[in-house]
Amino acid sequence: MKVSVKHVLLFGLMMASISPIWADGSTLASSDSLPAAWSYSDCVNYARSHNIKLQQSVLTRKSSAYDTEAAKAQLFPTLEAATTQSYTNYPSPQTGNYSNNYNGSYGLNAGWTLYDGSKRSNTIKKSQLQEQINDLSIDEINNNLETEILSDYLQILYAKESIDIAEKTMEISKAQKDRAYQLMKAGKTSRVDYTQLESQYQADLYSVVEAKSNYDSKKMALKQLLELGIGYDLNLDNLTFTDAQVLQSLPDKTAVYNTALGWMPSFKSNQLQQNMSDLNVNIAKSTAYPQITLNGSVGTSNASHTGYNFGDQLKNGLHEQIGVTLSVPIFDQKTTKTNVAKAQIDKLNAQLDYHDLANTLSQNVESAYIDARSAQAKYLSGKESVKSAALNDELTNEQFKIGLVNTLELLTSHNKLLTAQQELLQSKYMAILNIKMLDYYQNKPITLP
């Protein structure tokens, strides 16, 4: 079969037309357009274009805009065209009557609600508030993406540095094992001592495997957040943090809390929820007010066996009608009273939600402040601990080579150094994470490093 250029182009256009399209009009990015090494800002920008939860919230926002348009349309009159065609059969008609009759009616019917206790205007305001709440929901999801990516990103960097520590520790352990083997061959140490160092080497070797597995797990978590495929190998920028960045001064936690109260979308959304509760109360009360409706119609009809033709019947039957209907509720089985009470309860719940949000924010800010301060203190002491442990480990190694210390002392020194290095690494990333979270609560842009 001969394939023409036209067929190739047509196939390409068809494939492009079925590419997955997101709510913002973008398509899924190919692996060729993705960065080789992802910065934190790369991750955030990509997530904002591809995160499913965020795309769903955008669609919800668009749907609420249609709800507002529908609510506004309720202010206008309705108009409908209607026709009825009927056939009646009489199996045993009276003498002189026809056994069947055919009837038709045609009309235009209009209706316009003039007054409904401000239910429609309040419903419009409610829909507009819902649009604003949905906008804030998008902002909140964007903010949550930033903090979740920040946590995952730093955990990956931490896991990567843990691999380096584990590999260096394993190399030292291997050298100690090899040295013990030579000493055992020379008769200067026992097989038991060598076996202990061999066991330590195997444990350190497994620690490397475990560190790499943890690194892959952390990358998988970030890949899921970014909606990247299973086959994509995510690599991050190689970042280093200076002592000045880790030990920078912390802001006043009360000031941080007050700033967060003023800008965070969840608090603005809650205030709108309270306003919406007021509107729900008014909407519920509106059913207790009279309703005035203007009605009008134009119609005609035709029937069989009248002696007039179809056109004359339509002309002779043409009529107009206009009227005003006043509907006054008298007894509605407590429907209005119940709806008003439930709307007032919803408002109280919204107020309680605000206090709950404020308490949670207070705990989060204070926790970030305490954790940052604690991590900075541990980082300072950890640097000294690593220096001391490294010096002691180096000295112990030299003493072991000439037989001045036993295997137990060597292993103890080895593990102390490993523990000090891990604690220093952990305190560094804990400090960075909580410092950045304090920046987030102050509505400052999050940047790494």
Question: Residue 411 pLDDT more than 80?
Answer: yes
Binned at pLDDT 50, 70 and 90, residue 17 comes out as very low
Number of H helices, E strands in the chain: 11, 4
Six token digits for residue 219: 């990358």
Q: What is the pLDDT of residue 21?
A: 37
Binned at pLDDT 50, 70 and 90, residue 404 comes out as confident
- Interval 20-41 mean pLDDT: 63
- Encode 239-263 in three state secondary structure: CCCCHHHHCCCCCCHHHHHHHHHHH
Least confident span in 90-94, 137-141, 416-420: 90-94
Binned at pLDDT 50, 70 and 90, residue 449 comes out as confident
Question: Among residues of the chain, what percentage have pLDDT more than 90?
Answer: 76
Q: At what angle do helices 191-226 and 407-441 cross, to 10 degrees?
A: 20
Question: Among residues of the chain, what percentage have pLDDT more than 70?
Answer: 92
Q: How many CA atoms lie within 13 A of 359 on its CB side?
A: 6
Binned at pLDDT 50, 70 and 90, residue 23 comes out as very low
Question: Residue 332 pLDDT more than 60?
Answer: yes
* Share in percent of the chain as helix, strand, coil (round to 5): 65, 10, 20
Which of 21, 53, 63 shows the shortest CA–CA distance to 138?
Answer: 53
Q: Count CB atoms within 10 A of the CB of residue 214.
A: 18
Question: Residue 24 pLDDT more than 50?
Answer: no
Six token digits for residue 9: 């182009």
- Distance, in Å, from the CA atom of 147 to the CA atom of 438, rounded to the nearest integer, reads 11
- Interval 176-190 mean pLDDT: 86
Greater model confidence, 73 or 403: 73
Six token digits for residue 187: 């008769």
Q: At what angle do helices 119-185 and 335-401 cross, to 10 degrees?
A: 20
CA angle 165, 395, 160 (to 5 degrees): 5
Question: Residue 18 pLDDT more than 50?
Answer: no
- Distance, in Å, from the CA atom of 299 to the CA atom of 108, rounded to the nearest integer, reads 6
Binned at pLDDT 50, 70 and 90, residue 31 comes out as low
Rg (CA), the chain: 38
Greater model confidence, 216 or 96: 216
Q: Count CB atoms within 10 A of the CB of residue 430.
A: 20
Q: Count CB atoms within 10 A of the CB of residue 58.
A: 16
Binned at pLDDT 50, 70 and 90, residue 443 comes out as very high
Whether residue 138 contacts residue 68, with contact meaning beta carbons closer than 8 Å, is answered with no
- Separation of first and last alpha carbons in the chain: 58
Query: Which CATH architecture group holds 35-76+116-289+329-441?
Result: Up-down Bundle (1.20)
Q: What is the pLDDT of residue 95?
A: 65
Q: What is the pLDDT of residue 189?
A: 80
Which of 238, 244, 269 shows the shortest CA–CA distance to 161?
Answer: 238
Q: How many CA atoms lie within 13 A of 256 on its CB side?
A: 22
Q: Count CB atoms within 10 A of the CB of residue 266.
A: 19
- Interval 165-175 mean pLDDT: 93
Distance of CA 4 to the CA centre of its chain: 47
Greater model confidence, 148 or 3: 148
Which of 140, 129, 138 shows the shortest CA–CA distance to 277?
Answer: 129
In whole angstroms, how far apart are CA 322 and each of 48, 115, 202, 290, 447?
56, 17, 96, 20, 69
- Interval 45-61 mean pLDDT: 93
Q: What is the pLDDT of residue 448?
A: 92
Question: Residue 68 pLDDT more than 50?
Answer: yes
User: What residue segments make up the domains of the chain, in order of their start?
Assistant: 35-76+116-289+329-441, 84-115+291-328
Amino acid at site 344: Q
Peptide bond into 449 cis (omega under 30): yes
Beta bridge mates, 108: 81, 298
